[in-house]
Chain A
Amino acid sequence: MTTRRDLAPEVTFAWWETLCMRIGFALLLCHEYPPATRLPPPGSELPFPNGLAQWLDLGWGLVPQVYTGLHAALLAAAALYASGVAFPLAAPLLLVCYLVPATLLNSSGAISHHYQLMTLLLLAQTLAAWAWCLGRGRAAALWSSPAALHSWTTRVSLQVVAGNYVLSALTKLVATHGTWIWATHLMPVQFEKTRWQLFHDRLSMPELPLGAALNDACLAHPWICPLFFGPGLLIELFAFAMLFGRRWALLLGAAIALMHELVAATMGLFFRPHAAIAIIYAVNAPYWSARATRRARGARARTDSRPATAYSRTARTTRS
C-alpha cells in the first residue's frame, strides 16, 4: 500500500552522483561570475543599497584589487568545492565570493535575477553542511566531508530549487489575483519592450524568429498567449513534485530547463544559471546514464547466460 511517506521517498545520492553535481555547479559558478566591467566604478555611490549592503558598507568590493582577489579566491574555493573535501569551508567561501559583487550589482536600483539562485544554493548548502556537522557532533566531517554529507546537501539544494520555483508561481498568482494565465494576453507589449531593450544593448536587433512569429500570432489571436505561457506557470507551481523521487526530479528538471530555453528562444531572456541548476541537480544525467548502462549490461549478461535455442545453435553452425 502506498503511504504518504512513500510519495516523497528520501533519495540517497551516491558519491559519484554528488561529485558530478559539485563539478557541474563549480564550473557554472566560475563561468557566471559577475565580470568587473559590469560593476560600478570604484568609489561610486550605491543609490539603492540592497541586501547586505543595507547594513554594511560594501564599497570596498568595487576596488579592482579586491575584485581580483575575490575572483582568485572563487577559483580556489571552486576547486576545493568540486573535490568534496572540507565542503563546509569551501561552500561559505564561494558564498562570500558571489555575495559581494552580486550585492553591489543589485545596489544600483536594478535588481537582476541572474545570480540569485546560485547564491541561494550556496547559502543553503553552507547552512545545511554546518548544521549536519555540528548538530550531530560530527565535527570531524568539517574536513573529511563524507558521502552522506553530500547526499544531504543535495537533497537540501533540490528543496531550495523547488521552493523558489513554487514561490515564483505564487507571486504571479498573488499579483494578478489568480488571473496570471489569462493576463498573459498582454504579453506582446512585454515582448516588444524586451526586443527593443535587446536592440539598445548592442544596437543590433536580436534574431528571434520564433518569438516574432509567436508575437504576431498573439497580437492577432490573444487567446494563444494563455495556451503558450500557461504551462510555464504550471511547471513552476508544481515544481515541488521534483521532491517525490528521482523520476519526478528528472521530469520536472527537464521541464524547467525546457521552459527557460523557450523563454530564451521567444523573448531573448536568458536564465542559463537556472536551467543549468535544474539540469545539474534535478535531471541528474550521470545517474540515468549509469542506470541505463547497468541495465544494458544486465540484459546482455542474461542473453549470454540463456541456454542455447534452436535458432542460436543454427546461427552458430552457419557462422562456423
Chain B
Amino acid sequence: MVGEGMIAHLRRWRWFYASILIGGLAGERFPFSNWPMYSSFSANSGYVYVTDASGAPLAHLATFGESSARLKKQFNRDVGSALAQAAPPGRDEARRRSGQRLLTRLAARLTASRQQELGGLQLVYVTIRYAGGGLRRDETTVATLALAPPGTP
C-alpha cells in the first residue's frame, strides 16, 4: 500500500522531482542551474572595477553594457580556468593574463573615438575583509591595456 502510494506520489510530482534531479546534475548549464549564488560564505570577498588610463573609474553599464557582478564572474572564471591547467602560472600571473583578456574583450565594445578618449584601461581587484571590528578594502591593479593615444588616427 505504502509502495503504491509512493509511486502514485512520484508520478504526480514527477516534474517537481525531475527539476531537482536535473538541476542538481546539470549544474550551471543554461537554462538549468543548481542556484549556487550565496550558497556559501567566506571571511573575505572581492570585486573588480575598470578605470581609464588615468585611474578614473568607469561606469560599467554605460561604458561596456556589463554589470560589475558579471565582470567579476568573468574574471574569476578565467583565473580559475588558468589555475586548473596542468602547468598553471602563479596566481598573480594568472590574474594578470585573465585581466588582460577581459580588458581586451571590453575594449572591443568601445568605439575608436572612445578608445582614444580613454587612452587605456586598467582592471582593479578589490579585496574586502574583516579588520578591527569593521570591514577593510584593499585595491590592487591587476592588469593594464594601452589603447590608441589621443591624436592617433
Interface residues of chain A, those whose CB is within 8 Å of chain B, are 4-5, 8, 10, 37-41, 44-45, 47-48, 50-52, 54, 99, 102-103, 106, 108-113, 115-116, 119-120, 123-124, 128, 156, 159-160, 162-164, 166-168, 170-172, 174-176, 180, 183-184, 186-190, 192-194, 196-198, 200-203, 219, 240, 243
**How far, in whole Å, are A243 and B20 apart by their CA atoms in the complex?**
15
Point out the residues of chain A lying under 8 angstroms from B38, CB to CB.
172, 190
Please give the distance in Å from B29's CB to the nearest CB on chain A: 5
Q: By the criterion CB–CB under 8 Å, are A187 and B33 in contact?
A: no
Q: By the criterion CB–CB under 8 Å, are B77 and A109 in contact?
A: yes
**How far, in whole Å, are A194 and B38 apart by their CA atoms in the complex?**
12
Q: By the criterion CB–CB under 8 Å, are A200 and B47 in contact?
A: yes
Q: By the criterion CB–CB under 8 Å, are A163 and B17 in contact?
A: yes
**How far, in whole Å, are A5 and B33 apart by their CA atoms in the complex?**
30
Q: By the criterion CB–CB under 8 Å, are B40 and A183 in contact?
A: yes
Point out the residues of chain A lying under 8 angstroms from B149, CB to CB.
none
Q: CB < 8 Å: which of B31, B60, B128, B135 contacts A200?
A: B60
Point out the residues of chain A lying under 8 angstroms from B108, CB to CB.
41, 44
Q: By the criterion CB–CB under 8 Å, are A110 and B70 in contact?
A: yes
Point out the residues of chain B lying under 8 angstroms from A37, CB to CB.
65
Please give the distance in Å from B151's CB to the nearest CB on chain A: 25
Binary CB contact string for chain B from 62 to 93 against chain A (1 if under 8 A, 0 otherwise) = 10011111111111011001000000000000
**How far, in whole Å, are A117 and B36 apart by their CA atoms in the complex?**
14
- Known contacts A110-B74, A175-B36; A163/B135 CB under 8 A: no
Known pairs A5-B5, A40-B109, A41-B109. 14 more at Cβ < 8 A?
A51-B32, A54-B29, A109-B77, A116-B33, A164-B33, A167-B24, A183-B40, A186-B43, A189-B128, A189-B135, A190-B41, A193-B128, A200-B59, A201-B59
**How far, in whole Å, are A44 and B105 apart by their CA atoms in the complex?**
8
Q: By the criterion CB–CB under 8 Å, are A51 and B29 in contact?
A: yes
- Known contacts A48-B77, A187-B41, A201-B60; A171/B15 CB under 8 A: no
Please give the distance in Å from B133's CB to the nearest CB on chain A: 7
Q: By the criterion CB–CB under 8 Å, are B20 and A186 in contact?
A: no
Please give the distance in Å from A110's CB to the nearest CB on chain B: 4
The answer to the question of B45 belonging to the interface, with a C-beta cut-off of 8 Å to chain A, is yes
Considering only residues 1-28 of chain B, those with a C-beta below 8 Å from chain A are 5, 8-9, 12-20, 23-24, 28
Q: By the criterion CB–CB under 8 Å, are A113 and B37 in contact?
A: yes
Q: By the criterion CB–CB under 8 Å, are A184 and B47 in contact?
A: no
Point out the residues of chain A lying under 8 angstroms from B18, CB to CB.
163
Q: By the criterion CB–CB under 8 Å, are B12 and A8 in contact?
A: yes
Point out the residues of chain A lying under 8 angstroms from B74, CB to CB.
47, 108-110
Q: CB < 8 Å: which of A40, A47, A102, A159 contacts B13?
A: A159
Q: CB < 8 Å: which of B16, B42, B68 contacts A201?
A: B68
Please give the distance in Å from A119's CB to the nearest CB on chain B: 4
Please give the distance in Å from B54's CB to the nearest CB on chain A: 15
Secondary structure call for the B interface: mixed
- Known contacts A116-B33, A120-B32; A110/B73 CB under 8 A: yes
Q: CB < 8 Å: which of B5, B16, B66, B101 contacts A38?
A: B66
Binary CB contact string for chain B from 103 to 139 against chain A (1 if under 8 A, 0 otherwise) = 0010011000000000000000010111001110100
Q: By the criterion CB–CB under 8 Å, are A4 and B135 in contact?
A: no
Q: By the criterion CB–CB under 8 Å, are A38 and B65 in contact?
A: yes
Which of A38, A102, A176, A189 is packed against the most chain B CB atoms within 10 Å?
A: A189
Please give the distance in Å from A145's CB to the nearest CB on chain B: 19
Q: CB < 8 Å: which of B30, B43, B68, B78 contacts A103?
A: B30
Nearest-neighbor residue (CB-CB) of A232 within chain B:
B38
Point out the residues of chain A lying under 8 angstroms from B39, CB to CB.
171-172, 174-176, 180
Q: By the criterion CB–CB under 8 Å, are A111 and B109 in contact?
A: no
Query: Would you list 9 pairs from A and B whose C-beta atoms are within 8 A, ordered by A residue?
Result: A4-B5, A45-B105, A110-B72, A112-B69, A166-B20, A175-B36, A193-B128, A200-B47, A201-B59
Point out the residues of chain B lying under 8 angstroms from A183, CB to CB.
40-41
**How far, in whole Å, are A92 and B126 apart by their CA atoms in the complex?**
43
Which of B8, B30, B37, B130 is packed against the most chain A CB atoms within 10 Å?
A: B30
Q: By the criterion CB–CB under 8 Å, are A119 and B16 in contact?
A: no
Point out the residues of chain A lying under 8 angstroms from B42, CB to CB.
186, 189
